């Protein structure tokens, strides 16, 4: 992660950062405190949400992994962040309401976003959890911009408004400068307030010499690559969104 890229992303219009490690491989895990402190030196004001996820893979956690999540929340809660991003499921694919509630209660008064584990669950279960701020969702599809996903997102936005839940619906996945216009056009009448994007891509690392047959244990095209944020992509989405403002 380049701190210069973070600084430029904020300059390009990112209003909030979701901070995680391993985004390109498995969707992100809990970042280090060192990374947070380094980012605060270059972006002291921007809102930061911390991913609470002890590993890649599914969202069914052992007791030991769950204890790590609790300790991470306690640690970051005292270190200048605005919120956390998390999600816990049961082996059957339902929201683990009791565990999620415990994590949310531990995080308060921080903001709490339930991440895209939501897209694998029945909708109604999150209404049982007190203190939830936001739901990151692709509309339970591969991307948030497909016709089916947009219909689901409309329903979620309408439901949140109708029930006065004070939970923000945050569309994410597949959002870029080519798709954000149609998404805004479809969802702004239903109360859309924010969108989520990574703006990321793989780029070659700086290593010139690479020992034949050896790698970093990942495999595939990303074996020697580095996941970078594309500042131009962020700026393009921000400009497209701003064109809808009146």
* pLDDT attached to residue 245: 66
User: For the sheet containing 168-171, what is the strand order?
Assistant: 16-19, 47-51, 83-86, 111-114, 134-137, 168-171
* pLDDT attached to residue 246: 47
* pLDDT attached to residue 107: 97
Torsion of CA 231, 177, 115, 127, to 10 degrees: 140
Q: Would you tell me how many other CB atoms lie within 10 Å of the CB of residue 214?
A: 9
- The alpha carbon dihedral of 195, 231, 81, 18 has a sign of positive
C-beta separation of 102 from 69 below 8 A:
no
Beta bridge partners of 200: 229
3-242 maps to CATH 3.20.20.380: yes
Q: CA 9 from chain center: how many Å?
A: 16
C-beta separation of 127 from 156 below 8 A:
no
* pLDDT attached to residue 163: 72
- The tokens for 113 are 């976003």
- The alpha carbon dihedral of 209, 212, 214, 219 has a sign of positive
- The alpha carbon dihedral of 185, 139, 128, 88 has a sign of negative
* 92 phi/psi in degrees, rounded to 5: -85, 0
- The alpha carbon dihedral of 91, 96, 102, 104 has a sign of positive
The whole-angstrom separation of Cα 11 and Cα 5 is 10
* pLDDT attached to residue 173: 94
* pLDDT attached to residue 117: 87
Q: Are strands 168-171 and 134-137 parallel, antiparallel or unpaired?
A: parallel
Nearest to 133 by CA among 95, 87, 168: 168
Q: Would you tell me how many other CB atoms lie within 10 Å of the CB of residue 178?
A: 12
pLDDT by position in tens, the chain (length 246)? 567 678 778 888 889 999 998 887 778 899 999 999 999 998 899 999 999 999 999 999 999 999 999 999 999 999 999 999 999 999 998 899 999 999 999 999 999 999 988 888 766 567 778 899 999 999 999 999 999 999 999 999 998 887 767 889 999 999 999 999 999 999 999 999 999 998 777 888 777 777 777 766 666 556 777 777 888 899 999 999 998 864
Q: Quickly tell me which residue has 């739901």 as its tokens.
A: 135
């Amino acid at each position: 992660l380049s701190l210069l890229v973070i600084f430029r992303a904020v300059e390009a219009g990112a209003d909030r950062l979701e901070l995680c490690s391993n985004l390109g491989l498995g969707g992100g895990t809990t970042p280090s405190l060192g990374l947070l402190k380094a980012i605060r030196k270059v972006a002291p004001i921007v809102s930061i949400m911390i991913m609470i996820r002890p590993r890649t893979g599914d969202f069914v956690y052992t007791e030991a992994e769950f204890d790590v999540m609790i300790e991470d929340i306690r640690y970051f809660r005292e270190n200048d962040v605005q919120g956390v991003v998390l999600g816990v499921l049961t082996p059957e694919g339902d929201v683990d309401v009791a565990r999620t509630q415990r994590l949310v209660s531990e995080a308060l008064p921080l903001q709490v976003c339930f991440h895209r584990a939501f897209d694998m669950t029945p909708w109604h279960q999150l209404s049982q959890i007190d203190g939830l701020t936001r739901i990151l969702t692709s509309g339970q599809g591969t991307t948030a911009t497909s016709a089916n996903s947009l219909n689901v997102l409309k329903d979620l936005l309408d439901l949140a408004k109708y029930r006065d839940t004070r939970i923000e619906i945050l569309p994410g996945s597949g959002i870029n400068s080519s798709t954000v216009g149609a998404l805004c056009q479809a969802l702004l009448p239903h109360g859309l307030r924010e969108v989520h994007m990574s703006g990321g891509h793989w780029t070659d690392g700086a290593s010139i010499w690479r020992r034949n047959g050896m790698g970093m244990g990942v495999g595939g095209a990303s074996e020697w690559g580095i996941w970078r944020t594309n500042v131009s992509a962020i700026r393009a989405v921000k400009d497209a969104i701003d064109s809808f403002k009146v």
